A and B are shown apart, each in its own frame.
Chain A
Amino acid sequence: MSVKILVTARFDETALETLRRYGEVEYAGFAESQRVLAGSKLVRALEGVHVLVTEVDQVKGYVLKKTPDLRVIACCRGEPVNIDVEAATDHGILVLNAPGRNGDAVADLTLLFMLALLRHFLPLAAMLRQPGDGMEKLAHAFYDYRGNELWGKTVGLIGLGAVGRRVAQRLRPFGARVLAYDPYVAPETGAEVGATLVGLDELLGESDIVSLHAPLNEETQGLIGEAEFRKMKPGAYFVNTARAGLTDEDALYRALKDGHLAGAALDVFLEEPPPPDHPLLTLPNVIATPHIGGNTAEVVIHQSHIVTEDLVRLFEGQRPHNVVNPEALERFQWPQKLDG
Chain B
Amino acid sequence: MYESREDLEKVLSRLAERIQADPAFIEASKGKNLVVAMEFPDLEVFFHTRFQDGTVAAGLGEPEEEPTVELVMDSDVFDRIFSGKLNPAKAAMKGDLAFSGNATAAMKFQRTLSDFIRLYQQAKQDVGI
Contact = CB atoms under 8 A, between A and B. Distances in A.
Interface of A: 34-41, 56-58, 60, 62-63, 81-82, 271-273
B42 interface: yes
Contacts of A271: 90
B41 A63 contact: yes
A58 B72 contact: yes
Given A58-B72, A58-B95, A38 B42 contact: no
Interface in B27-72: 39, 41-42, 44, 70, 72
Nearest to B43: A62
A200 B95 CA distance: 33
A46 B10 CA distance: 31
A57 B93 CA distance: 12
B102 A39 contact: no
Given A38-B72, A39-B41, A39-B72, A81 B95 contact: yes
A57 B98 contact: yes
A38 B101 contact: no
Interface in B94-123: 94-95, 98-103
B68 to A, nearest CB: 10
A34 B101 contact: yes
A36 B99 contact: yes
B103 A58 contact: no
B94 to A, nearest CB: 8
Given A34-B103, A38-B100, A39-B98, 9 more contacts: A38-B98, A39-B72, A41-B70, A57-B98, A58-B98, A63-B41, A82-B95, A271-B90, A273-B89
Contacts of B101: 34-35
